[in-house]
Structures are given as C-alpha cells and as structure tokens.
Amino acid sequence: MDTTTDKPAKDTPAPPQATKRKANDTNTPTIQFTSRNPPWTYLKLQLIPQPGSLSTQPFDALSARTYLSSALSQYLGLTGTAIPIDILKVEGASSAEDTQNTSSTTTRNKSFVWIRVPRDDGAAVVAALSSWISGGGGGGSGSGSGATFAWRICAKGNYLGALVAGSGRDLFVP
C-alpha cells in the first residue's frame, strides 16, 4: 500500500501567517550609481559696474547675454561665440544707476546671473569671463552706453544642487 498523501502530517507545524511588512523588508534592491562625467558646468556670476561709470540700461537676460557674448568673443573670437550658454536665472538690481545711488554697495549692488555651459567648455568660459571688462562708451565691446562692467565668478560646480547649497530652491524663486 502507498502511504504517501498530499496532506501534511500532524507533527509538522503550520506555515506562519502573513505578518505586516516592514518598510526596509522589500525584495527590490537599492540601486546606486555614480555620475563621473556630468554634462554641464554651472556658474553663478555677478555683474559689477566699475566706479565712475553711468548706465541707465536695465539688467535683464538680454543684457546679460550681450555681456557674456562680448566676453567670449573678446577672449576666444568666433569660437567663443559658438559656446552654448543657458541663462537659468537673472536676479538683482534693475539698473546700474539704481545701484550707484545707494550708500551701501554691498546690499543693493547684486546683479547675479546663473548660467549653464557644457562641461568641456567650462574652463574656457571661466577664463573669458574673469578677464573681461567691457569697453565702455568709446566703440569697444560692451554696451556702448558709457558704462564699464566686469564679471565676478561667485561659484562654479558640476552639479546645480551642490552649487546652491543643496536644495536648488533659490534658483526658481521669482
């Protein structure tokens, strides 16, 4: 006679009932990766008017693009103007004249631009912007309005989140 059956023996304990799952008790593995070659370099720039220069031109994305293109053209020629620059945010004073009429230049003279450039062109852009001073009113490169400006590089990084102290929220606040 065959004594095997599909029923469990009376001595075998029953399988445990389903228990609550813990948050860390999942079967999906944690994925970790390292980005070794980020595609972009992010820069925080400040436009600084030189002492004694007068300008009534408002500081906006168009004037920032003009000053950036002028600096790249002066340093690298036609190759510099071919570097793609994404202007992420422009913040600060509405015009250079407003900043010169204040008693404290450290509180109101804040014309900042956040830009993104390809990582391979980052060093060339930093070199071009840090050595540029606009030509002023005498037919040189720049605005042509009698104002003289220079770029100051406040921060540079390959990750935007790290550049703005981790959160990145400051970049998109109006």
pTM: 0.64
**Yes or no: domain 40-172 corresponds to CATH 1.10.10.60:** no
Per the listing, tokens 């370099």 go with 41
Per the listing, tokens 């959160």 go with 167
Torsion of CA 57, 153, 120, 166, to 10 degrees: -110
Q: What does the pLDDT read at residue 139?
A: 41
Q: What is the tens place of the pLDDT at every residue in 61-70?
A: 999 999 999 9
* Side-chain half-sphere CA neighbours of 105 within 13 A: 9
Burial class of residue 142 in the structure, from the number of CB atoms within 10 Å of its CB (0-12 exposed, 13-18 middle, 19+ buried): buried
Residue type, 30: T
pLDDT at position 59 over 90? no
Question: Which H/E stretch holds residue 154?
Answer: strand 149-157
What is the residue extent of each domain of the chain? 40-172
Q: What is the tens place of the pLDDT at every residue in 122-172?
A: 999 999 999 999 876 544 444 445 678 899 999 999 888 777 765 555 556
Per the listing, tokens 């813990």 go with 22
